[in-house]
Chains A and B, each alone.
Chain A
């Protein structure tokens, strides 16, 4: 009898521990209780099923939101969505506490965000990676021309490959920004191949839509498969799945990898042996400027186009010939200004 009781108590305690621990830490500059009062400025961020410390996409968005809230002397907090069914209820949690701005991160949350913008007309919504087709004045989609970043990265890869085989290990093509990265990358390689009068084989492998951004083991093995077939430059893009690919390439001598979204030289140190650059979208800047606009009352509905770029070469500048670096720089200006088109439909 005593044994049974002990078992029960321990079980409940263990289960409670398991459930109670993963509570996110909020940044408490001002308290959440003050949200909704005239002087307070509260920013809530809801991630897609990715994590806020994914070292790329969600992390940058959160950093932008946090910084903008801090600048405004406000309060910021995030919720990580575990199950896509909870998009709306996670948004509702912030709305119920009268947050001023709610940032939703990820293409897949577009519908939930558009619906919430109608439901809560006094709250400003910022949808990262969401093309906003609605007319709501309090919902602004933050989108990026990922194809341009992919194009530049592909162009560099086209000049760096020695085996004339370049691969990409990506999250799912169901998410348009990922596909834009991939298509841009492919066209960038073709552009470089044409300039050099070479044939370069380009391969893009996408993860299945389910769990697409949280499968580093798949990323690593798939990158290994490409390496085994002589591919020597690999673009890893898709949250932790992409990071897995970068880590695998880093172990192969002489192979190069390209990161995504942020400068992953800084965020994925294990990739440093191979990481020559990252195809970046300046997420943090985009989010923080939109939050600042919301604070100032100048945020408009519709869509807001963020900036892109490619990251510095860091230690791997030694593998990039000066002439190539110069070409990339020249092309960057042309792509950004639009004189060179990526050939990818938005």
Chain B
């Protein structure tokens, strides 16, 4: 364990050294690359949190994509109809929770196959958003960017961390909060117990079904916020098929991050950096290599890291299995 920790520390030092070198070489570019990486990575990280909250409690959620899509849709159309960004955000959270609740209903109460349950959410979201989509709507105002006073003046860290929209700040804080909650609170212990061995948790007096309902529904709310980030904060509009597979990428990042919120955040940021560096290679035209090759870099890097660095991963033991008292 301590060996693992020191390995991790070396890795962190190496990463910091690489950033310091590039920052020394060209501060403005490095800053904008890392800042862009956060914009790329945040929706993926939040979507991975949805997966973690569900899977840690034993429910596989492959409906993240659909949850994000339908929430992004709700956020944009409610915000543009009632002319309030805040109400749009609330709508996204409510719709996300409904999607989560629907999944819980199918997976927990009806004990359906969870892969099919998630697929239903994806199909439903694609169908509904495509059908109800109307063009010509615009947001009443763009989501404001909040530059945090004083902190934003710190070189590098200021622009990278403290010059974003409100959902970005919320997202970063939430991920740390979720990590603390999952590993250092009663709720977290119970959640993990239910995900590993629901029978024992039940014996110890934890209501397995209720906790699963709660977590999957709350995870839906997080998915709603991830969707709202896309349509309200990042792009400022909605298009059909808007999420472009982010909900599925997030599942891979969740595994890469070993079902740990901070791990998944690191994985998402790694993916974001890869994407931003890819763009930067094109911007600088430093090397004359074919465009298509550069474009596949983020994916190749992710595969390499998954293959060599991630090592052995183990999902929560009770994942995907409906819980029935009598059979426990």
Residues of A participating in the B interface, judged by any CB pair closer than 8 Å:
3-4, 6-7, 11, 14-15, 17-22, 51, 53, 55, 167, 173-174, 203-209, 211, 214-222, 224-226, 228-230, 240, 243-244, 247-248, 250-251, 268-270
Contact = CB atoms under 8 A, between A and B. Distances in A.
B290 to A, nearest CB: 10
Given A206-B282, A270-B139, A214 B236 contact: no
Main secondary structure of the interface of A (DSSP, over half): helix
Interface in B68-123: 106, 109-112, 116, 120, 123
Nearest to B159: A228
B128 interface: yes
Contacts of A218: 244, 275
Given A53-B135, A222-B279, A251-B145, A244 B130 contact: no
Contact of A221 (B40, B126, B282): B40
Given A206-B282, A214-B241, A20 B127 contact: yes
Contacts of A17: 124, 127-128
Residues of B in contact with A, size category: 35 or more
B45 to A, nearest CB: 14
Contacts of A167: 283
Q: Tell which of B111, B126, B292 has the most Cβ of chain A within 10 Å.
A: B292
15 contacts: A7-B112, A11-B106, A17-B127, A21-B130, A22-B127, A53-B135, A203-B283, A205-B279, A205-B282, A211-B245, A216-B239, A221-B39, A224-B36, A229-B28, A247-B236
Nearest to A214: B241
Contacts of A214: 239, 241, 244
Contact of B230 (A217, A224, A248): A217
Interface string B11-49: 000000000000000001101110110011001000000
B279 A225 contact: yes
B152 interface: no
A224 B40 CA distance: 11
Contacts of B127: 17-22
Contacts of A53: 133, 135
A5 B236 CA distance: 42
Given A18-B124, A225-B279, A270-B236, 9 more contacts: A7-B106, A18-B125, A209-B292, A215-B244, A217-B235, A221-B40, A228-B36, A250-B142, A270-B142
A55 B237 CA distance: 12
- Which of A19, A209, A219, A225 has the most CB atoms of chain B within a 10 A radius of its CB? A225
Nearest to A11: B120
Contact of B131 (A7, A22, A204, A247): A22
B295 A14 contact: no
A228 B35 contact: yes
Contacts of A18: 120, 123-128
A22 B123 CA distance: 11
B63 to A, nearest CB: 12
B302 interface: no
Given A208-B292, A226-B283, A229-B29, A19 B123 contact: yes
B128 A248 contact: no
Contacts of B242: 216-217
A89 B125 CA distance: 26
B60 interface: no
Contacts of B116: 11
Contact of B235 (A173, A206, A248): A248
Interface in B219-248: 230, 234-237, 239-242, 244-246
B269 to A, nearest CB: 13
